[in-house]
Structure 1
Amino acid sequence: MKRVVVGLSGGVDSSVAAYLLQQQGYEVIGLFMKNWHDDSVTISNECPWLEDSNDAMLVAEKLGIPFQVVDLSKEYQDRIVDYMFKEYELGRTPNPDVLCNREIKFDVFMKIALSLGADYVATGHYCRRGITQDTNGNEVYQLKAGVDNNKDQSYFLCQLSQEQLSKALFPIGELTKPEVREIAKELDLVTADKKDSQGLCFIGKVRLPEFLQQKLQPKEGVIVQVPNTFDGYTRKIPVFENKLEELAFHSQKYTYSVANGKIVGKHQGAHYFTKGQRKGLAVGGTQEPLFVIETDVNENVIYAGEGKNHPGLYRKVLFVSNEELHWIREDLALEIGDSMEVLARIRYRQPLEKATLYQVPNGMYVEFENPQSAIQEGQFVAWHLEDELLGSGVIA
């Protein structure tokens, strides 16, 4: 019997994952990761770890599997929370869930599991692992989308390596959410009707400004509304010598100054806001809501545009530096000068969009067929061929 450690989160997905592995003949151990202590910034009782660990324990009892709580809060603080603070301080938008999978679940947690003699680590993610061969006939692991299009979570695992995938199992990847709930109901599991957790990986729903204020001090600044007629949006497009020049031109974001618009309000810190954000600006008197189109953390200015079709929100090309480029399928990584047609997305739940990758000496351009809203530095872009996620990178 192969031994599998399941990350039991106290939710329905990981509960059913543990049951399915049992049915497949694995020896299953349940571990709950305790990663967060501070309830002062979580909203109501959205994700209290105590209740979750209790539910996880009840599921383990019901399934008759060993169960233990492991405290990873120090590692979570060092690798995830501190990273979030740093990114917001720099005016970037972090994705803690992607990092959490790479750094906590499939690194710190996986090492604990392997030390318990586990052959694999399993989670309740809606995605699938495939095995194929490269051109030399070597075994290669694939990360594939979950069968349930509505729940596919492969994006959150876009930073995993071949080594991590080789030890990972995703038992519910072939199922839809309603099927998972049905199995849990038949087994009379305490998690069968439990709502899906929302918000930050392991922390739950947080009041982001209050969460960030633990480290980042409030600092009053102005909100500047930039009109649709801003010169930058109608700039003359030069004649390009080559594709590289064209990509470099279109990947540049717009630069604004306070003189480019009118001051319409105040804020408590540009580092609390991200591009594309609508809530929290608290500015009235416009026909359509205002959206953040840029934040300047150095000058502490927020630039906003009216309506979700404001030209300041859209770009077609983004860049990923070589240091931030990650191929799950290393055998398919592009050489300098190569290009590849893919489907890509820049955030979870966004439909996949047609795009082309261009590898250049210092990194890679991703050119979308259609302009994308709120391309934000710090976020992850992930690219697919059909249902397989090939790689990802941090937007520069």
Structure 2
Amino acid sequence: MARVVIGLSGGVDSSVAAYLLKQQGHEVTGLFMINWHDTTGTLEGDCPWHDDRVFAELVAKKLDIALHVVDLSADYRTRVVDYMFSEYGKGRTPNPDVLCNREIKFDVFLREALKLGADFVATGHYCRKAEERLPDGRTVYKLLAGADPNKDQSYFLCQLSQEQLRYAMFPVGELLKPEVRRIAAEQGLATARRKDSQGICFVGKVDLPVFLQQKLASKKGNIHEILPSWPKYRNGLPAGQPAQNGTLAPAQAAGDTAPAGQPVPEAEPTDGQLEALAAPWRYTVRDGKKIGEHNGAHFYTIGQRKGLGIGGRRESLFILATDTAQNVVYVGEGDAHPGLWRPALHIAPGEIHWVNPARALSPGQSARFSVRIRYRQPLQGARLFVRDEGAYLVFDTPQRGITPGQFAAWYDGDELIGSGVIAE
């Protein structure tokens, strides 16, 4: 059996993961992370990690395992929170949970666990791991979706490397959430009825503008409404034809029926067509009418509908685009507004990450995958095209709220093959 250090967070998932590891005969040690001290902008509690630590201690005592505490707040601030501030300042919307896993839980925390003599590091994530031996003798570690479709967290781990996966264990990945709750209750674990954490990883639920104002100043600007009749919605993309609903559907290549993950060489679109399909909608103040004011374009994200303070509409207003340089926010009325929908996205060359490097595509190749562009989004059919200029994901149907700074992750069945940061 192995020496396993588990990240005990004070939640039910990691608690049951620790119990299962002990049942399997492993030598288990708990490690609790302190990652955030500042409570600026938080909506609940003064220092939520204090409560988390108490619950972690109760679980460790019940399971009779040692519990160590490590303060990683300096690394968390520089590698996750400062990145968040930087991205929001550029008008992009980062995903701190994906960053937290890549930069903290499976990097800084992993190194701390190795200092304690760990053979493996375990977490309470709802995902699974598999291994494959390649013909050349190399071992590839695969990241698989969790067995519970309602709790699958593989998306949050879409930036992990082979080295990080090599050490990872996911003891609850084969279980459904109700089973985890049941085990915790049967074993008398203090976390059995504890609510799942929400909000920013290790920070909690926040008032985002207040939180961001630690680094990003408020700045009055204008809100402009773009009408669904804006001419470029009908004529904007040369590679597609207007669909019945007024959005642009991507051109489907002939013979595009290959299994997921298999290169599809025929009927490849030109680089220019891919660039046009993936281009975001771009507006100027002349394209719409001013209908209100905001406190800073960097506080808003594409697809957002709350926080505008403009009422009296038949349908909600949604953010279509933000211009942080000019400090303008563009909005449209209704969930079906064509400005919310796009047929494709672009990933810059340096932002393409292959979780399974044996499945990597070379420039000039393309393949079909199932894709999600946010956590819990149902998987969407798409073709991934790799070019010298980066990667392009062209979806079978237009997607709502493609957001720069977020991660697109592509799957073949249950396996998460790769991911990348959406460029624009």
> TM-score per shorter chain, which class?
over 0.9
CA distance in 2, matches of 1:44, 1:390: 37
In structure 2, the residue corresponding to 1:106 is in which secondary structure?
helix
Q: Note the 1:118-157 alignment, pairs <5 A.
A: 118-157=118-157
TM-score, reference length from structure 2: 0.91
Q: 1:242 to 1:16 in 2, by over 3 A?
A: closer
Residues 158 and 47 from structure 1, CA distance in 2 versus in 1: closer, same or farther, beyond 3 angstroms? farther
Stretch of structure 1 that moved more, 101-110 or 316-325? 316-325
Answer whether contact 2:122 2:171 (CA < 8 A) is retained.
yes
Match of 2:348 in 1: 321
Corresponding residue for 1:339? 366
Shift of 1:2: 1.4
Query: Which residue number corresponds to residue 85 of structure 2?
Result: 85
Distance in 2 (alpha carbons) for counterparts of 1:237 and 1:314: 13
Q: CA deviation at 1:238?
A: 3.5
**Aligned residue for 2:216?**
216
Q: What secondary structure does 2:160 align onto?
A: coil
2:247 alignment partner in structure 1: none
Residue 180 and residue 165 in structure 1: after superposition, are their counterparts in 2 closer, same or farther (change >3 A)?
same
Measured in 1, the distance between the counterparts of 2:238 and 2:106 equals: 47
Structure-2 residue corresponding to 1:282: 309
* Paired position in structure 2 for 1:185: 185
Would the aligned equivalents of 1:46 and 1:205 in 2 still touch at CA under 8 Å? no
Note the alpha carbon deviations across 1:156-198, whole angstroms, 9 max, x for none: 0000001000000000000000000000000111100000000
Q: Does 1:52 align with 2:79?
A: no
Residue equivalent to 1:25: 25
| Bigger mean CA deviation after superposition, 255-264 or 95-104 | 255-264
In the TM superposition, what is the alpha-carbon distance from 1:236 to its structure 2 partner?
Answer: 5.7
Segments of 5+ residues of structure 1 without an aligned counterpart are none
1:258 counterpart (280, 285, 296): 285
> Relative to structure 2, which stretch is displaced further, 317-326 or 169-178?
317-326
**C-alpha separation in 1, matches of 2:73 and 2:344:** 38
The 1:187–1:296 alpha-carbon spacing in structure 2 relative to 1, beyond 3 Å, is: same
Kept in 1, the 8 Å contact 2:363–2:386? The answer is yes
1:182 maps to a residue whose letter is: R
Structure 1 residues 182 and 41: CA distance shift in structure 2, 3 A = same
Partner of 1:380: 407
In structure 2, distance between residues paired with 1:283 and 1:205: 24
Per the alignment, in what secondary structure is the counterpart of residue 324 of structure 1? strand
Q: Residue type matched to 1:259 in 2? A: R
SS at 1:31 equivalent: strand
Q: What is the distance in 2 between the residues matched to 1:166 and 1:83? A: 26
Tell me if the contact between 1:46 and 1:197 (Cα under 8 Å) persists in the aligned partners.
no
- SS of 1:375 mapped into structure 2: coil
**Residues 51, 231 of structure 1: alpha-carbon distance in 2 compared, 3 angstrom cutoff:** same
What does 1:356-371 correspond to in 2, within 5 Å?
356-371=383-398
Task: Work out the CA distance in 1 between the residues paired with 2:372 and 2:147.
Answer: 18
Q: In 1, Cα distance between the equivalents of 2:299 and 2:47? A: 22
State the Cα distance separating 1:277 from its structure 2 match: 0.4
Counterpart code for 2:75: E
- Pair 1:40–1:245, CA change in 2 (3 A): closer
CA contact (8 A) 1:47 1:205 kept: no
Alpha-carbon distance, 1:260 to partner = 1.1
TM-superposed deviation, 1:290: 0.2
CA shift at 1:257, angstroms?
1.1
Q: Distance in 2 between matches of 1:99 and 1:184?
A: 29
Query: Could you tell me which residue of structure 1 aligns to residue 110 of structure 2?
Result: 110
1:298 to 319, 322, 325: 325
Aligned residue number for residue 259 of structure 2: none
Question: Aligned partners of 1:79 and 1:125: how far apart in 2?
Answer: 21
Which residue identity lines up with residue 413 of structure 2 in the other structure?
E
Structure 2: runs of 5 or more not aligned: 241-267
Report the Cα offset of residue 201 of structure 1. 0.5
Structure 2 Cα separation of the partners of residues 336 and 303 of structure 1: 35
Cα distance in 2 between the residues matched to 1:104 and 1:28: 20
Q: Which amino acid aligns with 1:160?
A: L
Deviation at 1:28, TM superposition (A): 0.5
**C-alpha deviation, 1:239, in angstroms:** 6.6
SS at match of 1:229: coil
Alignment match, 1:96: 96
TM-score, normalised on structure 1? 0.98
> Residue in 2 aligned with 1:349?
376
CA distance in 2, matches of 1:349, 1:206: 21
Q: Which residue of 1 aligns with 2:357?
A: 330
Q: Distance in 2 between matches of 1:59 and 1:80?
A: 28
The whole-number CA distance in structure 1 between the counterparts of 2:317 and 2:138 is 52
What CA deviation, in whole Å up to 9, does each residue of 1:317-340 have, x standing for no partner? 111111001001111100111111
The secondary structure found in structure 1 opposite 2:79 is: helix
Q: Deviations over 1:365-385 (max 9, x none)?
A: 111101111111111000000
Runs of 4+ aligned residues of structure 1 deviating over 2 Å after TM superposition are 44-47, 133-138, 236-245
Are 2:334 and 1:307 equivalent residues in the alignment? yes
Aligned residues of 2:354 and 2:419 also touching (Cα < 8 A): yes
Q: Within 1, Cα distance between the matches of 2:239 and 2:322?
A: 30
Q: 1:248: Cα distance to partner? A: 1.1
Report the Cα distance in structure 1 between the residues aligned to 2:269 and 2:189, rounded to whole angstroms.
Answer: 60
Read off the aligned partner of 1:372 and give its amino acid letter.
Q
Contact 1:278/1:289 (<8 A) preserved: yes
Distance 1:191 1:47 in 2: 18
2 CA distance for matches of 1:192 and 1:351?
29
